[in-house]
Amino acid sequence: MDQAKLREDLVAYVDGELPAAEARAIESWLAGDPAAQELRRHLQEDVLALRGLFGAALREPVPAALTAAIGAGRVAPTSAGGGTVVELPRKARPRPVARWLAAAAIAGLVVGGVGGFLGERQQGRQEIAQLQQQLVQTQQQDQQQMAQLQQTQQQGQQQMAQLQLQLAQMQQQGQQEIAQLHGQLDQTQQQLAAAQQPQPWIMQVAQYHKIYAREQRHLVEVPAAETPHIEQWLGKRLDDLAFKVPDLSAFGLTFKGARMLVVNGAPVAQLVYLPADGRAVALCIIHSKKDDKPLTASQQDDLNLVDWRVKGYGFVVIGWENPDALRAIAEASQKGFAL
């Protein structure tokens, strides 16, 4: 298979989306080529950085007028003016936002525009007529906009100042977060470098847990408020496993949410719980072809683990709780799964 195809397939493999037949070719490539192993490691790390980048966009404040228009069916923000957000004239520069937000649209649009350019005279005349019409419209719009501009100039200036301040804060926050993520990635890189060959999945999951458990804002990908979605989404990714998020409140643990990890090309569901005071406990599930296995305690560095397998699914509970407490949590967790 050629190198370009292998590289494309490796991305799907890292996402756990490559069919088994193609996955074998990737695995043998990975086994024999250190450069391929390095590429896989980079692809896995960069997903975290991308999530950080896209996550920042969710903190863009939603204009009140838009919320009102959608929530209550009030007049559109473009024609209202009753909203708290001042409408800047159309010709104002776009608000400065993260560059990826501001960039898009361009490549496709320019190509589309050039493609429409044909030398035929008839069409040329029509285009000129259209352009003249547009020019008149634009001039009218400009006059309206000038009037609007004078009215809203003062408000606009105030808002710009606010936005600049907000932007500065957001930028600073975003950079701190990305720097943090990069620091974590360096650590992950070292850990992964120490173990280039595929490891038992629970060891990799434990490494992930150490990283994510330090997160405050990004502890989970999908919050506990969306529990039905979590059960549906992760169940589907685990080959249609029907499950309910186990209730571990008897152990003082509150369910905070979930994320999906990918280990050796396979999806892993990670359910995250927090004690009132202390560090996160995670319950992770993977689809496994291996035989059933009873609850088994183990340790990795300062982390305690209890893992087991039932009817084609592997489970592990990970945390800094003592081994007896963790075993009791594991026993209670089994009840959430109708296997």
Partner 1 sequence: MGEAEEAAFRSEMVALLPRLRRFGCSLTGTLELADELVQAACERALQRFHQWVPGSRLDSWLYTIMHSIWCNEIRSRRVRQGAGRVDPDQLVDAGVESQLGARLTLTKIDRIVARLPEEQRAVLLLVCAEGHSYREAAEALDVPIGTVMSRLARARLAVTEELHRRPGVREAAQFSGGSA
Name which of residues 31 to 50 contact partner 1 (CB under 8 A).
Answer: 39, 42-43, 46-47, 49-50
On the 0-12 / 13-18 / 19+ scale of CB atoms within 10 A, 294 is exposed
Residue from the set 237, 253, 280, 283 that interacts with partner 1 by CB under 8 A:
237
- C-alpha to C-alpha distance for 155 and 105, rounded to whole angstroms: 30
Q: Residue 99 or residue 290: which is nearer to partner 1 going by CB?
A: 99
Site residues for partner 1, 71-110, by CB under 8 A, read: 71-73, 76-78, 93-110
Site string for partner 1, 244-283 (x = CB under 8 A): ----------------x-----------------------
Least gap, CB of 209 to partner 1 (angstroms): 18
Site residues for partner 1, 182-221, by CB under 8 A, read: 221
Residues 255, 283: contact at Cβ < 8 Å?
Answer: no
Least gap, CB of 269 to partner 1 (angstroms): 11
Residue from the set 233, 251, 320, 337 that interacts with partner 1 by CB under 8 A:
233
Stretch that binds partner 1, among 10-18, 118-126, 148-156, 212-220 (CB under 8 A): 10-18
Cα dist from 159 to 32, 141, 155, 229, 252, whole Å: 58, 23, 6, 38, 46
Buried residues in 160-186 as b, exposed as e (16+ CB within 10 A): beebeeeeeebeeebeebeeebeebbe
Q: Residue 79 or residue 150: which is nearer to partner 1 going by CB?
A: 79
Q: Residue 232 or residue 334: which is nearer to partner 1 going by CB?
A: 232
Centroid of chain to Cα 131: 43
Size of the site for partner 1 (CB under 8 A): 72
| 19 is a contact residue toward partner 1 (CB under 8 A) | no
| 55 is a contact residue toward partner 1 (CB under 8 A) | yes
Alpha helices in the chain (DSSP H): 3-14, 20-32, 34-57, 64-72, 99-103, 106-115, 121-193, 201-212, 227-237, 323-333
Least gap, CB of 154 to partner 1 (angstroms): 18
Residue 61, both tokens: 């404040």
